[in-house]
Amino acid sequence: ETPSKPALYQHTPKAIPSRISGHLVKRRDDLLPQRKSLPIWPHADSIRQALKNNNVLVLTGETGSGKSTQVPQFLLSENWCKKCIAITQPRRVAAISLARRVGEEMGSLVGSQSPAAKVGYSVRFDNSSGPNTKIKFLTEGMLLQEMLRDPSISQYSAVIVDEVHERSVNVDLILGFLSNIVSGREQSQGRKDPLKVVVMSATADVEALVDFFAGESKNEETDGGNIKTITTKDKKALNVPAKSPPDQSLHLSKHGISTCFVEGRQYPVKTIYLPEPTQDWIETALKIIFQIHYKEPLPGDILVFLTGQDAIESLEKLVNDYAEGMDKDVPKLLTLPLFAALPQHAQQRIFTPTPPRTRKVILATNIAETSVTVPGVRYVIDCGKSKIKQFRNRLGLDSLLVKPISKSAAIQRKGRAGREAAGRCYRLYTEEGYKYFEERTVPEILRCDLSHAILTMKARGVDDVLNFPFLDRPPREALEKALLQLLTLNAVTETSAISETGTKMAKLPLTPTLGRVIVEAATRDCLIDVIDIISALSVENVFLNLVTEEKKEEAAATRGELYKREGDHMTLLTTVQRFAEEVSDRKAWCERHFVSHRAMRNVMDIRKQLRQQCNQLSLVPLSSDPTVSTTPSEAHTNAILQSLLRGFISNTARLMPDKSYRTVMGNQTVSIHPSSVLFGKKVEAILFSEFVFTGKAWARGVSAVQSDWVQTVIQESM
- For residues 202 and 710, which CB has a smaller minimum distance to ligand ADP in the complex? 202
Stretch that binds ligand ADP, among 65-73, 107-115, 270-278, 664-672 (CB under 6 A): 65-73
With CB under 6 A as the contact rule, the residue among 98, 161, 448, 686 that binds ligand ADP is 98
> Quick check: 581 and 629 in contact, CB under 8 A?
yes
d(CA 35, CA 107): 13
- For residues 244 and 558, which CB has a smaller minimum distance to ligand ADP in the complex? 244
> Quick check: 110 and 100 in contact, CB under 8 A?
yes
3-state secondary structure of 700: strand
How many residues belong to the site for ligand ADP (CB under 6 A)?
Answer: 17
With CB under 6 A as the contact rule, the residue among 63, 354, 456, 602 that binds ligand ADP is 63
66 belongs to the binding site for ligand ADP (CB under 6 A): yes
With CB under 6 A as the contact rule, the residue among 43, 91, 100, 481 that binds ligand ADP is 100
The β-bridge partners of 122 are: 127, 138
**Which among 222, 253, 330 is positioned nearest to 58, based on CA atoms?**
253
d(CA 259, CA 211): 12
> Quick check: 35 and 65 in contact, CB under 8 A?
no
Q: How far is the CB of 100 from ligand ADP (least distance, A)?
A: 5
413 belongs to the binding site for ligand ADP (CB under 6 A): no
Q: How far is the CB of 143 from ligand ADP (least distance, A)?
A: 17
101 belongs to the binding site for ligand ADP (CB under 6 A): yes
CA dihedral 340, 346, 348, 351 (to 10 degrees): -100
522 belongs to the binding site for ligand ADP (CB under 6 A): no
Using alpha carbons, list the distances in angstroms from residue 426 to 268, 302, 411. Answer: 14, 11, 12
- For residues 70 and 179, which CB has a smaller minimum distance to ligand ADP in the complex? 70
Q: How far is the CB of 87 from ligand ADP (least distance, A)?
A: 10
Query: 309-324 and 281-295 are packed helices; what angle lies between their axes, rounded to 10 degrees?
Result: 40
**Which among 16, 13, 31, 19 is positioned nearest to 104, based on CA atoms?**
31
Q: How far is the CB of 350 from ligand ADP (least distance, A)?
A: 8
Q: How far is the CB of 63 from ligand ADP (least distance, A)?
A: 4
Q: Which of residues 9-48 bind ligand ADP (CB under 6 A)?
A: 38
With CB under 6 A as the contact rule, the residue among 55, 97, 201, 609 that binds ligand ADP is 97
d(CA 208, CA 497): 32
* Residue type at 360 in one-letter notation: K
The mark string for 306-345 relative to ligand ADP (x by CB under 6 A, - otherwise) is ----------------------------------------
Helical spans, DSSP H, in 198-251: 206-213, 232-238
- For residue 13, is the peptide bond before it cis, meaning its omega torsion is within 30 degrees of 0? no
Q: How far is the CB of 62 from ligand ADP (least distance, A)?
A: 7
Stretch that binds ligand ADP, among 59-67, 120-128, 424-432, 496-504 (CB under 6 A): 59-67
111 belongs to the binding site for ligand ADP (CB under 6 A): no
Stretch that binds ligand ADP, among 57-65, 207-215, 279-287, 566-574 (CB under 6 A): 57-65
69 belongs to the binding site for ligand ADP (CB under 6 A): yes
Stretch that binds ligand ADP, among 96-104, 187-195, 381-389, 581-589 (CB under 6 A): 96-104
The mark string for 338-377 relative to ligand ADP (x by CB under 6 A, - otherwise) is -------------x---------------------x-x--
d(CA 37, CA 75): 19
Phi, psi of 626 (to 5 degrees): -65, -20
61 belongs to the binding site for ligand ADP (CB under 6 A): yes
CB proximity list for 595: less than 8 A, separation 6 or greater: 542, 543, 544, 575, 579, 589
- For residues 98 and 465, which CB has a smaller minimum distance to ligand ADP in the complex? 98
Cβ-in-10-Å burial (0-12, 13-18, 19+) of 6 comes to exposed
108 belongs to the binding site for ligand ADP (CB under 6 A): no
Residues that bind ligand ADP (CB under 6 A): 38, 61, 63-70, 97-98, 100-101, 351, 373, 375
